[in-house]
Amino acid sequence: MPAIKSIDWKKGRLIIIDQRQLPQRLKYLYLSDVKEVIRAIKRMSIRGAPALAGAAAFGLFLGIKDFPNNKNYSCFKKKLNYIAHLIGSARPTAVNLFWALERMLERAEENKEKPISQIKIFLLKEARQILEEDRLTCRKMAKFGCHLVKDKDRILTICNAGILATVDYGTALGVIYEAVKEGKEIKVFSLETRPLLQGARLTTWELKMNNIDVTLICDNMAAELMRRRMIDKIFVGADRIALNGDTANKIGTYNLAVLADFHKIPFYVVAPLSSFDPNIDDGSSIPIEERTPYEVTSLFFKRSIAPRGIKVLNPAFDVTPHNLITAFVTEKGIIKAPFKEKIKDLLFKR
């Protein structure tokens, strides 16, 4: 596989692919302060739940690296909390971002007796660890998920749950990479994913680059392909999964799950444990990001496609009820329904 690094840390800078420029240009951004990281997250130069976790962790480090080493821990902690709050306000739905921030704060707290200069070193180490773990986690999920894929399967996916959305390999797309690596012949259908077109711009780009057979379709073509029996399985990623298995993912995922249920097509969610929210019982309390109307009316069009001032609703995610999900693929294995107790076991008995 060509080495595409969606996120990396070198010489004190966070290096990310500017995903806004794809597929036209493969351009990297070199971020050396937390404001730049927050801007990149808000503008979606970096996106996808696990990649956001990495960006948040390094963003937090960048935000405190110049804090005076001679101040006490309580001042340092105030600053840490403040920066974590700023980063946490950038995007609300992907829980991985908050998971990474919490992990960083915990690491600082555990070492509060140590000099500030030392705590900073621990925080940088923790951020690096978050990247490294995601790399391994994606590989493990891919291996487990691969058992669900048969030779000649035609797989539908939405948004981008691949290399670009993680540190490496991807979640849903990782399963596909692994299946192809094992010699299975796979066809992928990628939904374009209105309004930001992550499927059209990113998923097709990375799959094509890796020589995977991929066909782009508009979002409203999914039902017809299913009716024609052209889809065997659906694999998607996740941004936040409640304890009962209700799953927030890119807007349009719920549509797919309903259609899959109607057409009796297995619907799989591939996600690391960092995408499960231990504080949320069901999908009704998952915060859903609402983005600017501009993305719907104008962003990818030469001229606005709607009358000026038209009312627009632009929720970036939806919640798929757990009863429409066939199974979750995690780094600890495959979880089949009923989910609740199994998810709790995985999260709380680690």
Q: d(Cα 246, Cα 319) in Å, to the nearest integer? A: 6
Q: Is 240 helix (H, G, I), strand (E, B) or coil?
A: strand
Q: Which residues pair with 188 in a beta bridge?
A: 155, 214
Backbone angle region of 183, left / alpha / beta, with phi > 0 → left and psi within -120 to 50 → alpha? left
Nearest distance, CB of residue 158 and ligand MRU, angstroms: 7
Omega cis (within 30) before 23: yes
Of 108 and 238, nearer to ligand MRU (C-beta) is 238
Of 123 and 191, nearer to ligand MRU (C-beta) is 191
Q: Is 336 helix (H, G, I), strand (E, B) or coil?
A: strand
User: Residues in the site for ligand MRU, rule: CB under 6 A?
Assistant: 47-50, 94, 159, 161, 165-166, 171, 198, 237-239, 249-250, 316
Beta strands in 185-278 (DSSP E): 187-191, 213-217, 233-236, 240-241, 247-250, 267-270
Of 244 and 253, nearer to ligand MRU (C-beta) is 253
Nearest distance, CB of residue 304 and ligand MRU, angstroms: 22
Which residue blocks in the chain are alpha helix, DSSP H?
34-43, 49-64, 73-88, 95-110, 116-146, 172-181, 198, 204-209, 222-227, 253-263, 294-297, 340-348
Of 111 and 255, nearer to ligand MRU (C-beta) is 255
User: Which residues lie closer than 8 Å to 316 by C-beta, 6 or more apart?
Assistant: 93, 196, 250, 251, 288, 289, 290, 291
Q: Which residues pair with 276 in a beta bridge?
A: 241
- 134, 219, 239, 246: the catalytic one is 239
Nearest distance, CB of residue 71 and ligand MRU, angstroms: 36
Numbers of helices and strands, H then E, in the chain: 12, 13
Nearest distance, CB of residue 314 and ligand MRU, angstroms: 11
Tokens of 138: 């994606």
Nearest distance, CB of residue 347 and ligand MRU, angstroms: 18
Residue nearest to ligand MRU (CB): 237
| Annotation says 239 is catalytic | yes
Of 116 and 199, nearer to ligand MRU (C-beta) is 199
Q: Is 258 helix (H, G, I), strand (E, B) or coil?
A: helix
Whether 170 contacts 138, CB under 8 Å: yes
Omega cis (within 30) before 307: no
Of 64 and 246, nearer to ligand MRU (C-beta) is 246
Nearest distance, CB of residue 224 and ligand MRU, angstroms: 23
Nearest distance, CB of residue 105 and ligand MRU, angstroms: 22
Of 1 and 75, nearer to ligand MRU (C-beta) is 1
How many residues are there in the chain?
Answer: 350
- 175, amino acid identity: V
Active site residue ranges: 239
